[in-house]
């Protein structure tokens, strides 16, 4: 079997890009759910980082758009996208950690996906692969 001609995306790069877009879409959906005054989100009184659920929703929508944009840029081969993926996923982990009292399982899921994205981006070495 011969290798395909032309620039091919490597597994870590493709995996990281697809996961970034997926996490971005999930963040946007989470934000839309919060903005629409969904009754799923309940937090006990006295939470230190308690904000209006609508504010949290817009935070997740903006963050999700940034995450998805970084994923699309990484898929397109933009060199800045790796650094952006690290920073944005790190920020996403912090935001979802603060979101834990509102929807714990969803926040933990997104934190885990962000950690996998950071690992996948870190495991990809473009200088070794000529990409």
Domain residue ranges of the chain, discontinuous segments joined by +: 11-37+50-125
What's 4's DSSP letter?
P
First-to-last alpha carbon distance for the chain, in angstroms, is: 21
Between the CA of residue 129 and those of 12, 23, 93, what are the distances in Å? 11, 26, 29
Give the pLDDT score at 114: 93
Give the pLDDT score at 55: 86
Give the pLDDT score at 8: 52
Residue 37 near residue 76 (C-beta atoms within 8 A): no
pLDDT in tens, 1-31: 555 544 455 667 788 889 999 999 999 999 9
Give the pLDDT score at 6: 43
pTM here? 0.80
The rounded average pLDDT for each run of 10 residues, N- to C-terminus, in the chain (131 residues) is 51 83 94 80 68 86 96 89 92 93 89 92 67 48
Give the pLDDT score at 100: 87
């Amino acid at each position: 079997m011969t290798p395909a001609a032309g620039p091919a995306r490597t597994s870590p790069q493709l995996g990281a890009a697809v996961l970034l877009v997926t996490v971005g879409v999930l963040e946007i959906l989470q934000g839309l759910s919060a903005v629409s005054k969904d009754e799923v989100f309940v937090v006990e009184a006295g939470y230190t980082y308690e904000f209006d659920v609508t504010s949290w929703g817009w935070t997740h929508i903006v963050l999700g758009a940034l995450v998805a944009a970084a994923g699309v840029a990484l898929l397109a081969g933009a060199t800045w996208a790796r650094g952006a993926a690290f920073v944005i996923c790190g920020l996403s982990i912090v935001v979802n950690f603060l979101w834990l009292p509102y929807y714990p399982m969803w926040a933990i899921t997104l934190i885990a996906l962000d950690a996998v994205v950071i690992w996948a981006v870190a495991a990809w070495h473009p200088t070794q692969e000529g990409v």
